[in-house]
Amino acid sequence: MPMISPEYAGRLLEELTTGCPVPAAPTALSRYAFQTSDHVLIGDVAVRGYKHKNRWRLDERDIRHAGDKLASLPIDLDDLVDARLTSAEHGRTWRSQILNWFTHAAYEDQTANGCHCEGRQPCDRTRPNQHGLGCGTTRDQVDARYGQRSIASTRPLPLLTWSGTIWAIPRAYAALLDRADHITTQSAEQAARCSRCGATGDIWQWRSSSAAGYTTLCPTCTSAVTRPYKGHLQGRQYKTLPKNAQPDAFLCLLCPSPRQAMYWDHCHEHGFVRGPLCASCNTHEGGGHRFIERPGAVQHLLSCDGCRRERTVPPRHRPDIVLQTFVFDPHGPCMEQPRYRWGAIEENGAVRFRLQCGHHMPAHQWEQIVPASHVRRLVEEFVGESLKADPGTHTPTQPAS
């Protein structure tokens, strides 16, 4: 079959739907689309994804069929129906997604600019204004922030119209999105079934990435096809691993319930193997944010001989360690500890925090830098206490030959 990349599939979809009343959104054709299903929706057509050598591919024939069908949708822009964007909507539907965009836009505007309504307390942003949105939000703000967002590989916001009392949408497009919701529900139910025994469970707990795509295995079946990692690669440099050292033969070290691993996680600072992780845990460790708060995460980081020896952790995890004990300057007369948004490591080892005071509307924001010397001391103390608390887990080993 003619297999093409998601990038090429996106360009092809744009060509096929040029001039179509329904704006196509090919950015939806990414690897993340297959986390909860084996298919990606283009309108009301489910297109299957295939993974080969860790690269996702799509069948060109499927893309052409879906694009042609979307382009031929009989849209009458004067035949409108009530979009029914109400908070009573249950589950994740196209209506609830659009309503969430509106709600977040109103929250962001009120946080930045204050409440536009009369009264001492900020409004709850549920009463529509002249634009059909909450508080002081405008349509331009929503379009700028969410105009490119997609549902079923289409962009719904350009087709929404505020009548003064309701949000209206073309009848044929609403019917297409309803069909897409139905297909999404069916696909998610199928993806939540264990591929070995057929049991149904939590898709976020059972489904994991593999070299051949996403697979769904219940804890019992996962334990039957994998085994616990016993630390046999402790002290081994990642670059020395043979190609047949398969991480997917082991359970993920950090998942609370059995999940098949996909990667040999290793310290990029010192090169030592830490152990097998699933794709989700590996991504979380690579991002750094809040990773050390996960059970077993600190012990996992310190399974690197280099980090133990130097009493440190990779730079991306240091801001979270600083947050454990560092006391930030209060916001002027508030004398309240600020809420932080993000901490980033500077080139010299300092951490720059972006802070926010939650007691003011609009929110007051500022930055504070923790010097590199202070960061080093806090990290050394944190690692030292962690090693004292669990010394048996972190006994240094000699590098494997």
Q: 106: which DSSP letter?
A: H
The pLDDT of residue 391 is 63
**161-162 sheet: strands from edge to edge:** 80-82, 167-170, 161-162
The pLDDT of residue 55 is 87
Q: What is the pLDDT of residues 204-261, one digit of tens each?
A: 889 888 878 888 999 999 999 999 999 999 999 999 999 888 999 999 999 999 999 9
Average pLDDT over residues 83-102: 87
Determine how β-strand 80-82 pairs with β-strand 161-162. unpaired
More confidently predicted of 397 and 199: 199
The pLDDT of residue 392 is 54
The pLDDT of residue 114 is 87
Percentage of the chain exceeding pLDDT 70: 94
More confidently predicted of 22 and 333: 22
Number of H helices, E strands in the chain: 12, 14
pLDDT interval class at 155 (50, 70, 90): very high
The pLDDT of residue 358 is 65
Q: Helix (H, G, I), strand (E, B), or coil: what is residue 148? A: coil
Under 8 Å between Cβ of 207 and 191: yes
Mean pLDDT of the chain: 89
The pLDDT of residue 126 is 86
The pLDDT of residue 398 is 36
Under 8 Å between Cβ of 102 and 52: no
Calculate the alpha carbon distances from 394 to 41, 209, 247, 269, 305 in Å: 47, 29, 21, 18, 8
pLDDT interval class at 330 (50, 70, 90): confident
Query: 399: Cβ–Cβ under 8 A, 6 or more apart, which residues?
Result: 235, 236, 237, 305
CA distance linking residue 273 with residue 268, whole number of Å: 9
* β-pair partners for 68: none
Count of beta carbons in the 10 Å neighbourhood of residue 379: 20
pLDDT at residue 396 tops 60: no
Q: Extract the runs of DSSP E, i.e. beta strands, from 60-176.
A: 80-82, 161-162, 167-170
User: What does the chain come to in residues?
Assistant: 401
The pLDDT of residue 316 is 94
The pLDDT of residue 357 is 76
pLDDT interval class at 401 (50, 70, 90): very low
CA distance linking residue 191 with residue 213, whole number of Å: 12
| Type and span of the H or E element at 207 | strand 207-210
The pLDDT of residue 38 is 87
CA distance linking residue 298 with residue 274, whole number of Å: 11
* β-pair partners for 13: none
Query: 391: Cβ–Cβ under 8 A, 6 or more apart, which residues?
Result: none
Identity of residue 180 = A
Q: Per-residue DSSP letters for 323-351? A: HHHPPPPP-GGG--PPEEEEEEE-TTS-E
Q: 113: which DSSP letter?
A: H
* β-pair partners for 45: 42
The pLDDT of residue 351 is 94
pTM: 0.76
Average pLDDT over residues 359-384: 86
More confidently predicted of 389 and 91: 389
Q: What is the pLDDT of residues 169-213, one digit of tens each?
A: 999 999 999 999 999 999 989 999 999 999 999 888 898 888 788
Count of beta carbons in the 10 Å neighbourhood of residue 401: 6
* β-pair partners for 352: 344, 369
Identify the top-confidence range among 25-39, 86-100, 148-162, 385-399.
Answer: 148-162
- Three-state secondary structure string covering 30-70: CHHHHCCCCEEEECCEEEEEEEECCEEEEEHHHHHHHHHHH
Q: 278 phi and psi, to 5 degrees?
A: -75, 170
Under 8 Å between Cβ of 208 and 279: yes
Q: 244 phi and psi, to 5 degrees?
A: -90, 10
More confidently predicted of 90 and 159: 159
Calculate the alpha carbon distances from 313 to 78, 297, 299, 305 in Å: 61, 11, 11, 11
Q: What is the pLDDT of residues 14-52, one digit of tens each?
A: 999 998 999 888 877 777 778 888 899 999 999 999 988
pLDDT interval class at 362 (50, 70, 90): low
| Closest listed residue to residue 310, CA positions, set 373, 383, 374, 371 | 383
Both structure tokens of 160: 């929404």
pLDDT interval class at 397 (50, 70, 90): very low
Please report the sign of the dihedral spanned by the C-alpha atoms of residue 48, residue 52, residue 56, residue 61. Answer: negative
